[in-house]
Amino acid sequence: MQQRYRLLHLLSDGGFHSGETLGSVLGIGRSAIWKLVRSLETMGIDVFAVRGKGYRLSDSIVLLQRERILAEIGEEAAGLLSEMEILPEIDSTNNYLLARAQGLGNGHVCLAEYQSSGRGRRGRHWVSPFGANIYLSVLRYFDALPDGPQGLSLMVGVAVASALTSIGVTEVGLKWPNDLLWKNRKLGGILLELAGEPGGRWQVVIGLGLNVNLPAESGKHIDQPWVDLKTVIGDHSDLDRNLIAGRILRHLLLELERFSRHGFTPFRPLWESHDVTRNRPVVIKELHRETRGLSQGVDDTGALLLSVDGQVRRILSGDLSLRIDHEHS
């Protein structure tokens, strides 16, 4: 594995490097270089091979760097950070923190360049090619979640939307309970995994996947319309994942602290300003049942308010999905 990442560092400038030169630096033969290149491709990294020139990446890669992310997080938010790990490869950042949670402090952050088994909500696979996006998780403890956990996922969405707005991303949409959208295309997703008792202490792992510069080949494995920040902001922009990750963590750490004191109520107006389903017909699917109604936003706990046949129901997040009902729009 170490050789694979040494090769990636050599190729990260986006220029051509001959197999002979790469082999000389790494102390291996050209056939071994070829095998390492193939292994990079299994991680979603596009490598071009041109006879007489050698190998190069389809685009240069700026790797995640601890110092640059911490600089963007800022002093106040960094005070809420117990530790930050950046891993080159992992099955899932959420899995990593869940498996080690008992020995980790409040505000422990894990970022990864690549996830081999990234997960979205309801067990769906999250496409996670190397160095293309943001994959991060935060471990946070709460003494209590008196209104339940549903408002926490919405608060995380608000924090991420605010962070993206601060770097010039406009028209960020939020879809209850955990999707980040841009013009009805999936930009990112949030996954919360919790352990605790009602009225007692809660352990929460907050996972975020955000598309930054998703290769088209990797995008073929996504089963819904998607978009990345490169498309949103424009090809001319310098998409620095360190700046993006740091800005998101700054907003997220500070807002988690506010949530621990005040709950979801102060975040509700901002959520509603980004809500893409408010006052629109929607369909909620649970197991083998579908419910159609009119979304009327959320209440102060983060529950969805759904008008069905003139009656307003409170819908709590769980094993369900929500989509806009285009048949009745």
The pLDDT tens digits for 5-32 are 888 888 888 899 999 999 999 999 989 9
In 42-188, where does DSSP find H-type helix?
66-73, 75-78, 93-100, 150-166
The percentage of residues in the chain with a pLDDT greater than 90, rounded to a whole number, is 63
Considering only residues 271 and 103, tell me which one the structure prediction assigns the higher pLDDT.
Answer: 271
| Cα gap 158→268, rounded to integer Å | 9
Contact 301, 147 (CB under 8 A): yes
Instruction: Please give the average per-residue pLDDT across 110-116, as a whole number.
Output: 92
Is the pTM for the entire model greater than 0.85? yes
pLDDT of residue 119: 63
For residue 149, is the peptide bond before it cis, meaning its omega torsion is within 30 degrees of 0?
no
Q: What's the full length of the chain, in residues?
A: 329
Query: pLDDT digit string (tens) for 289-301?
Result: 899 999 999 999 9
The tokens for 94 are: 């959420």
Q: What is the mean pLDDT of residues 80-107?
A: 94
Any alpha helices (H) in the chain, and if so which ranges? 2-11, 19-26, 30-41, 66-73, 75-78, 93-100, 150-166, 216-219, 229-233, 241-262, 268-274
Here the tokens at position 287 are 């197991």
Render 20-52 in DSSP notation, one character per residue.
HHHHHHHT--HHHHHHHHHHHHTTT--EEEETT
pLDDT of residue 1: 58
Residue 256 pLDDT class (50, 70, 90 cuts): very high
Domains of the chain: 2-57 (1.10.10.10), 66-273 (3.30.930.10), 278-328 (2.30.30.100)
Q: How confident is the model at residue 237 (pLDDT cuts 50, 70, 90)?
A: low
The pair of structure tokens assigned to 242 is 């360190």
**Looking at the predicted structure, is the pLDDT value of residue 57 above 90?**
no
Going by C-beta distance under 8 Å and a sequence separation of 6 or more, which residues neighbour residue 60? 12, 13, 14
- Residue-level pLDDT at 120: 54
The residue ranking higher by pLDDT, 219 or 188, is 188
Residue ranges at the known binding site for biotin: 92-94, 115, 119-121, 186
Tell me what the mean pLDDT of segment 62-90 comes to. Answer: 95
- Alpha-carbon span 116 to 280, nearest angstrom: 37
Q: Which residue has the higher pLDDT, 118 or 214?
A: 214
Instruction: Check residue 190 and give its pLDDT.
Output: 95
Tokens representing residue 118 in the block: 């990234």
